[in-house]
Amino acid sequence: MRKIDLTNFQVATSETARQINRRITLNFLRHHQPMSRADLSRRSGLQRSTVSAIVDQLIEEGWVTEGAIGRLPRGRRPRFLHLNVERTGIIGVNLRPETTTVGLANVDARFEEQRSFPTPGNPSIFVPTVARTIASLRAAHPSMVCEGVGVSLPGRVDEGGRLVFAPNLGWRDVDLKQMLETATGLPVNVENAANACALGEVWFGRHDEHLRHLVAVTGSEGIGVGVLLNGQLVHGANAMAGEFGHMTLDESGPPCCCGKRGCWERYASNSAAVDYYTSGAQATRGPS
């Protein structure tokens, strides 16, 4: 029996069940489209009446379209269902210390357009810059309805979407989720870059759909690790899971922007390689 915190819990409602079944239906369609209503019922285990009600709602909202009619030796001929990739858009924001890229993609993860700009050094400048870029992308693609914004960044993010600390950005304790939702009027999810990479691999990678456990290692200006167990991201206490880039290898090593010395990423990241190359070139040239 799983222990429940009786001081902080939410009971399941009929709306909870509907939302779960809706997500199950959308995920089956994303993985196996085109599918008929009968196919969805068989593969998901949901009752046909439940599937029909969900599909009718998704069609009305523009998430799903009906396509060709299939052929059967007998009985009612099925109509195949597809995700409406032309209608639904997602905004992705890849925040890096030097450059930020904002892209508009459809639900199949195909990018319609991307735009980049130098990353401002201050969140109060960054947020309105991103908001203007998002507004411009939406204006350029008026037929697409944007469902939300996903932000990937090199730093620790708590489960509420607050940036705890991003050493390579120099940002600490910033509620980016709330700031961006206010500025854009869209739902926003903020996640650590390595965690976002792991999620992207699970959702869109070329692997067996039953993949449950995954470790994604990213190398850029720093080193990040995203961990999934049983299909769920592991954040850990204080969002510290996967923060291997700031494990100390040598306490007398080069200083790191996190405040310590000799961190892993000071030896095995892009920025470390640049520093090593620069120091080697200066040693070769000697004093001027």
Please list the pLDDT of the chain residue by residue as tens digits (288 residues).
Answer: 556 666 766 777 778 888 888 888 888 888 787 888 888 999 888 898 898 999 998 888 888 888 767 665 555 677 888 888 777 788 999 999 999 999 999 877 788 899 999 999 999 999 999 999 999 999 999 888 888 999 999 888 887 888 988 888 889 999 999 999 999 999 999 998 888 888 887 777 777 667 778 888 888 777 888 888 877 777 777 777 777 777 888 888 888 877 888 887 788 887 788 877 887 645 444 444
User: Considering only CA atoms, which of 201, 202, 195 is closest in space to residue 225?
Assistant: 195
User: Considering only CA atoms, which of 121, 64, 54 is closest in space to residue 88?
Assistant: 64
Whole-Å CA distances, 205 to 58, 157, 202, 208: 25, 24, 6, 9
User: Considering only CA atoms, which of 163, 161, 190, 160 is closest in space to residue 174?
Assistant: 163
Q: Specify the pLDDT at position 283.
A: 46
How many Å apart are CA 209 and CA 200, to the nearest integer? 13
User: Considering only CA atoms, which of 92, 126, 128, 82 is closest in space to residue 112?
Assistant: 92
Strands 232-233 and 223-229: antiparallel
DSSP state of 201: H
DSSP state of 265: G
How many Å apart are CA 233 and CA 227, to the nearest integer? 6
> Residue 284 forms beta bridges with which residues?
none
User: Considering only CA atoms, which of 241, 242, 247, 239 is closest in space to residue 156?
Assistant: 239
Helix or strand run (H / E) with residue 195: helix 193-204
